[in-house]
């Protein structure tokens, strides 16, 4: 009778020991909210599922409400990876030494912004911003922390007119995201604006733009933009080589549906040095401390 009782007791202790083991640490990531929330949930929910299956650890996408919130979440270690724009990535890596840009979309090696105008302005497309662009009553950027919706448009506006929009245009706003910029200019709430070229192109392909009301006036030269950045302590937290595994998984994505969610044709390697020009530009116009 004693032996069966001992066996049962040992089994109970063994189960208790198993149950007391800490669950696998969750790998969390976020992304700058450059479009409406439903699109982001669809895009990054798929990414989380793919990463979880490929990496063998729980993976969670953590949405944020603003570009600064994405940088803050990364700085505070609430997430270990983020899909940043060029400027927000630079900001995050300056705050978290050791962080690394690891991958970017093929298209992100040569990104661009569109300057757009409501048809009521009478502005027409050209090889440069027309003089009358700076004479319009209103202009909207996207988010204050956006590379394609603020940093580069402001840089090229200053280059063309010798001053920032705030000094030449009566009403200058920040819509918060590219989709909102398009809606505000199309409706006439703002005469002009600047946005991510992919958001425009996708909306145009989807039939969501009334080109009788709004059109592209000028597109900027190419610059590097969106990319994945990871904290420098991934290997210490998830095991040796984890950072490299994450990089390899992202670069190997070839599922057309997953890539289309971005939209990107592929992911290619990225490095912090790729964004030095972005950092220099941001410093030149006072957007970095």
Residue ranges per domain, the chain? 27-109+224-284, 112-219
Domains 27-109+224-284 and 112-219 in one fold = yes
Q: How confident is the model at residue 145 (pLDDT cuts 50, 70, 90)?
A: confident
What does the pLDDT read at residue 16? 44
Topology given in CATH for the domain delimited by 112-219: D-Maltodextrin-Binding Protein; domain 2 (3.40.190)
Cβ neighbours of residue 187 closer than 8 Å, sequence gap 6 or more: 213
What does the pLDDT read at residue 255? 93
CATH class for domain 27-109+224-284? alpha beta
Distance of CA 64 to the CA centre of its chain: 11
What does the pLDDT read at residue 24? 65
% residues pLDDT > 90 (the chain): 80
**Residue 54 burial by Cβ neighbours in a 10 Å radius (0-12, 13-18, 19+):** middle
Backbone angles phi and psi of 215, in degrees to 5: -150, 160
């Amino acid at each position: 009778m004693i032996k069966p009782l001992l066996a049962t007791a040992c089994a109970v202790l063994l189960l208790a020991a198993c149950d007391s083991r800490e669950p696998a640490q969750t790998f969390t990531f976020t992304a700058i909210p450059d479009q409406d929330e439903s699109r982001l949930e669809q895009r990054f929910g798929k990414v989380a599922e793919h990463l979880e299956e490929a990496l063998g650890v729980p993976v969670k996408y953590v949405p944020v409400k603003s570009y600064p919130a994405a940088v803050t979440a990364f700085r505070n270690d609430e997430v270990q990876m983020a899909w940043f724009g060029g400027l927000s990535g630079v900001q995050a890596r300056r705050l978290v030494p050791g962080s690394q840009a690891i991958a970017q979309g093929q298209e992100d090696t040569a990104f661009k912004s569109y300057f757009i105008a409501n048809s009521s302005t009478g502005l027409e497309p050209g090889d440069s911003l027309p003089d009358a662009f700076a004479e319009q009553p209103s202009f909207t950027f996207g988010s204050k922390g956006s590379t394609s919706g603020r940093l580069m448009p402001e840089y090229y506006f200053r280059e063309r007119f010798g001053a920032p929009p705030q000094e030449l245009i009566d009403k200058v706003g920040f819509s918060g995201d590219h989709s909102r910029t398009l809606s505000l200019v199309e409706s006439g709430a703002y005469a002009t604006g600047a946005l991510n070229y992919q958001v425009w192109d996708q909306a145009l392909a989807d039939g969501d733009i009334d080109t009788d009301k709004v059109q592209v006036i000028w597109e900027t030269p190419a610059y590097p933009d969106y990319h994945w950045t990871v904290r420098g302590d991934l290997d210490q937290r998830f095991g040796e080589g984890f950072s490299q595994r994450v990089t390899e998984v992202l670069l190997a994505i070839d599922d057309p549906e997953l890539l289309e969610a971005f939209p990107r044709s592929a992911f290619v390697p990225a490095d912090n040095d790729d964004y030095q020009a972005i950092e220099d530009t941001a410093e030149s116009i006072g957007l970095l401390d």
